[in-house]
Homo-oligomer: A and B are copies of this chain.
Amino acid sequence: MKLVSPGEAAANTNDIPAEAGEEFVRIGEMAKKYGVTLRTLRFYEDKGLLNPHRDGSTRLYTRRDKARLKLILLGRKVGFSLRDVKQMMDLYDPTGTNTKQLRLALDKSEKQLARLQKQRALIDDAIGELSNSMSVVRQMLVERTAPAQASAAG
C-alpha cells in the first residue's frame, strides 16, 4: 500500500495507517492534483472548508477532502464566494436527504445566475463602448496621419 499510486516517486514515503483502501495524500500532492497552492489549501482549512486528518501535525487528505475541494473549486468557478460555499457545505448531512442543503444551493444559484447575467450585460456594454471609442480613435489617427487625403477623399 502506497500513499498514492504505485508509480508516484514521492520523496517522503511514510507508512501511514492505510486501512480498507483509504488513500491519504499530503498537502503537496493534493495541491498538484488540483492545481492549487499549499497556501490555498491551508487557507480553505482555516476558513472551515476543509478538515484533513492529521498525522501529528502533517495534514492528510482523503477522498472526502478531495470531493469537498472539487465542490469548492466548482463553486469558485461559477462565482460563489467562499462564504457561500461554506454555508452550503455546512448543511451537508450524510444521514439525511439534504433537502435543505439542496434548496439553499438552488436559491443561491439562482441569485448567482442573475448576477452573472448582469455582469455579462455590463461586459457586453463595455465591449460596445470600447469598440466605439476605438473606431473614433482610429479615425482621429487617420486624420492626423493623412490630413491631405481627409477632405480630398470626401
Contacts and interface: CB of A to CB of B under 8 A. Distances in A.
A105 B137 contact: yes
Contacts of A116: 123, 126-127, 130
Contacts of A105: 133, 137
Given A123-B120, A137-B109, A78 B130 contact: yes
B126 A78 contact: yes
A39 interface: no
User: Most chain-B Cβ atoms within 10 A of its Cβ — which of A77, A79, A105, A123?
Assistant: A123
Nearest to A126: B78
What is the count of identical protomers in the complex? 2
Contacts of A119: 123
Given A79-B126, A120-B120, A126-B77, A113 B140 contact: no
A104 to B, nearest CB: 10
A130 B110 CA distance: 9
Interface string A103-119: 10110011011001101
- Which interface class (under 10, 10 to 19, 20 to 34, 35 or more) fits A? 20 to 34
Interface in A77-128: 77-79, 97, 99, 102-103, 105-106, 109-110, 112-113, 116-117, 119-120, 123-127
27 contacts: A74-B129, A77-B125, A77-B126, A77-B129, A78-B126, A78-B133, A79-B126, A79-B130, A99-B141, A102-B137, A102-B140, A105-B133, A105-B137, A106-B137, A109-B133, A109-B134, A109-B137, A110-B134, A113-B127, A113-B130, A113-B131, A116-B127, A117-B127, A119-B123, A120-B123, A120-B127, A123-B123
